[in-house]
Amino acid sequence: MTTVYVADTGVFVRCGGPDNDKFQRLRRPVRQAGVTLRIPKRVYEELGGDPATDAYPSGTVPYQTGSRKA
Amino acid sequence: MAQSPSRSDRLPIRELQTVADLLETPALARLYVYIIQHGPVTVSETVDELDIPQGTAYEYVRDLETAGLVEKTREQRPYGYDAEAIALTLSTDGETRTITPSLIAAVARRDEDADIDVYIERHGLDGLAVALEYAREYVDGTVNHRIAARELDLSPLEAEVILQALEPVAVEYADPTV
C-alpha cells in the first residue's frame, strides 16, 4: 500500500515561505518522515492564479520554489 | 403635544455616529473590543494593554460612554467601565446588515493584520461582514475556500487568505448573534 500526502491551498497560505516559523514547523516533520507532499494541479493553479492577491501579505506564496512536476 | 422624554437612556442616532467611528477607527474598535472582553476595566488598564496614548484613550471612553456603548461600573476614581454588546441592524433597499461586536473585532485587527486591511480596501466593510459569516462556517468545517470563493466571487486564493485572517475572530465569536 502506498500513502500519498496531499496538501491543499490552505496549508501554503498558512505556512507562507521559508522565512516563516510555521513553514519551518511543517518542513521539519515532513523531512524527518522522509515524505514529500503532493500538490494537485488545481492547488498549484490556485496558488498562482490570481495576481490581485499580491496585495495581501499572505497572498504571495513562493509555491514555485519548493515544488516540481511529478 | 409634547412627548414625554423616553425612559431609555439610549440615544440611537448618537450611538449610530459612534458605531460609524468604531468602523473607521481601528484603535477605537480595539478599545471597545478590549472593554467587552475584559470589562470592567479602568482607562489606565486599557492604555497599558493597547498602546493607545492616554489622552486618546480617555477621549475614546468618553465618546463610547456618551453613546451608551460603555458604562461606568463604579462611581469612585478610578472609574471602571464595562461595555454593552451592540447589535445595530441597518436596512437599505433589499439589504440588511447587523453590526455586531465580532465585526468591530474584525475591524480592530486591521492595524495588526494587513490581510484584513487589504480586504477592506478591496471589498469594503460590507464585504468584510459577509466574509466573517463565511469564516464562521469555515471554522465549523461546513465551508471551504472554494465554496466561499464561488459564492463571494473571489479567487480561491483570496478566499483562503481572508478566511484564515478572520479565523481568530470567528473562533472567539462563535455565536453568530455577536
B contact set with A (CB within 8 A) = 114-115, 118-119, 121-122, 145, 155-158, 160-161, 164-165
Q: Which residues contact B19 (CB under 8 A, 6 or more apart)?
A: B67, B69, B86, B88, B99
- A54 at interface of B, judged by CB pairs closer than 8 A: no
Instruction: Give the pLDDT confidence score for residue B25 in this predicted structure.
Output: 95
A45-49, B4-8, B21-25, B49-53: least confident range: B4-8
- Amino acid identity of residue B97, one-letter, is R
- Kindly determine whether residue B165 and residue A46, on different chains, have CB atoms separated by under 8 Å: no
Instruction: Give the pLDDT confidence score for residue B63 in this predicted structure.
Output: 92
The reply to whether the predicted model has a pTM over 0.90 is no
Task: Supply the DSSP string of B32-98, one letter for each residue.
Answer: HHHHHHH-SB-HHHHHHHH---HHHHHHHHHHHHHTTSEEES-SSSSPPEEEPPP-EEEEETTEEEE
pLDDT tens-digit readout, A38-65: 999 999 999 987 888 999 999 888 887 7
Instruction: Give the pLDDT confidence score for residue B10 in this predicted structure.
Output: 66
Instruction: Give the pLDDT confidence score for residue A41 in this predicted structure.
Output: 92
ipTM: 0.90
What chain A residue is nearest to B116 in terms of C-alpha separation? A56
